[in-house]
Structure 1
Amino acid sequence: MLAIYTKEINAFFSSLIGYIVIAVFLLVMGFFMFVVPDSSLLRFGYASLGPFFTLAPNVLTFIIPAICMRAFAEEKQTGAIELLVTRPLRDIEIVMGKFLACLTLVVIALVPTVLYYYTIYQLGAPVGNIDAGGTIGSYLGLVFLSMSFVAIGLFASSLTSNQIVSFLLALALSFFFYFGFDLVASIPGFDGRPALFIESIGMQAHFRSLGRGLIDSRDVVYFFSMTAFFVLLTVLNLERRKW
């Protein structure tokens, strides 16, 4: 697994892929956080990173499928997948190596955004007037959300040899699991417990829950379960090539 992880990380940073992904994420977030009036932290009126944590999942919905689309699709297209699966590595080690590499790249992209927290911390009245617990919970939520999106992206990439198809499929699945259940729950006729149950199936409700600053085990278990589910589907799809 370590060999696959190292290979993928080197592939990201020996080319422009890793730098482009990080730059695009930071430029898009910076544009909305400091330039666009409706979401600018400087014009929000409160010492809060709410606009950032509202927008970040939307951007990651596009960024992470772009990171993961080449994971297996490119190797299928070039025929390298046949060589990879014949090495003395278990399929789960191959998948986890790629999973951790993609997740590492996302986390590296998130690290510079801590400057947003420092900015709001300094601009608060008084200085430091910001909900630190909610901020930490929201950052953990972004990491957990990224784990699930990466697992979905790898699964989509394992289904096809076309990177564009892989990107679109991962984008559709990520969008559905993050926004879809909330949209269904908002349909007239769903209210009370049925609506809450439908929302609880989607990622957005659990991400919002973590953003309150209370790390609920149910939210953690949900994201780890989603990640494990799609990692398992990816492993099974790789094993299917041996039948």
Structure 2
Amino acid sequence: MLAIFRKELNSFLNSLVAYIVIGVFLVIVGLFTWFFDSNVLDYGYADLNNFFQLTPFIFVFLIPAITMRSLSEEYKSGTIELLFTKPLSEWQIIIGKFLAIFLLIFVALLPTLLYYYSVYQLGNPKGNIDSAAVSGSYVGLLLLGATFASIGLWASSITDNQIVAFVIGAVLCYVFYDGIQQLANVFSGTTQFYISFLSLGYHYEALGRGLIDSRNIIYLLSVIFLMLFLTKQNLVSKKN
């Protein structure tokens, strides 16, 4: 598994994918957080709501752009057959790739801690920011990023075409994050609640309120496991 992790990470670094993804992400969130309309400085309140509301929608496109080549390229180049001949289980291949993608997401988020520090210092009085909500939102972003990574990895496992994998991954990420929530808004009462509960956005927003509820974490982890399991089943079918 570590060999796959290192191989995938080196592949990102050698192809400039990591630098481009992190650079694009930081430029977009930086502009919206600090310069465009409704930025932190104009808003007049010490919070990072804009950042935490925008980032999931950027992830919808950026994470599938990272994952689209993970398995589809292996299929197209035939190197997947080489992996199957090595003493590696399907789980080891998948987890190795998944962890490399997750590390990239983690590294992309690290520089944004400067946003929190800046707003913390700019608060009046200093430190006038809901740190619990910020912490919960970062936990939510990491889990949401991991969930999108698992969805993108599954999309990459069903085709040898990277563009197709990207489109499928991006569409599914949006549907699971916001599409289900939009559907829920058509209804009311308990029906709306139960449909909303299936949305990744519902659990992400709940974590962003600063209350780390185990139900939200368990749901997101369950989706991650389900998508990785389905990816594993696709690899088994490919192998056979």
Tell me if 1:111 matches 2:107: no
Q: Deviations over 1:15-74 (max 9, x none)?
A: 311111110100111111112113x11112210011110001010111100000000011
Q: For 2:179, what is the secondary structure of its paired residue?
A: helix
CA-CA distance at 1:84 after TM superposition: 1.1
Name the structure 1 match of 2:134: 135
TM-score, length-scaled by structure 2: 0.98
Paired AA for residue 144 in structure 1: L
Tell me if 1:29 matches 2:29: yes
User: 2:17 & 2:237 partners in 1: Cα distance?
Assistant: 30
User: 1:101 & 1:17 partners in 2: Cα distance?
Assistant: 12
Name the structure 2 match of 1:20: 20
Name the structure 1 match of 2:177: 178
CA-CA distance at 1:180 after TM superposition: 1.3
User: 2:49 & 2:28 partners in 1: Cα distance?
Assistant: 16
User: 1:144 & 1:121 partners in 2: Cα distance?
Assistant: 24
Q: For 1:219, what is the secondary structure of its paired residue?
A: helix
CA-CA distance at 1:241 after TM superposition: 1.5
Name the structure 2 match of 1:191: 188
Name the structure 1 match of 2:207: 210
CA-CA distance at 1:242 after TM superposition: 2.7
Q: For 2:159, what is the secondary structure of its paired residue?
A: coil
Aligned residues with identical type, % of pairs? 47
Q: Deviations over 1:174-203 (max 9, x none)?
A: 00000111111111xx11111011000010
CA-CA distance at 1:170 after TM superposition: 0.1
Q: For 2:88, what is the secondary structure of its paired residue?
A: coil
User: 1:64 & 1:108 partners in 2: Cα distance?
Assistant: 13
User: 2:199 & 2:40 partners in 1: Cα distance?
Assistant: 27
Equivalence map 1:60-99=2 (5 Å): 60-99=59-98
CA-CA distance at 1:227 after TM superposition: 0.1
Tell me if 1:102 matches 2:125: no
Paired AA for residue 67 in structure 1: I
Tell me if 1:219 matches 2:210: no
User: Which structure 1 residue ranges, 5 or more long, are not aligned?
Assistant: none
User: 1:32 & 1:74 partners in 2: Cα distance?
Assistant: 34
RMSD in angstroms over aligned alpha carbons? Answer: 0.7
User: 1:111 & 1:153 partners in 2: Cα distance?
Assistant: 22
The runs of at least 4 consecutive aligned structure 1 residues that moved more than 4 Å come to none
User: 1:211 & 1:102 partners in 2: Cα distance?
Assistant: 23
Equivalence map 1:150-169=2 (5 Å): 150-169=149-168
User: 2:78 & 2:66 partners in 1: Cα distance?
Assistant: 20
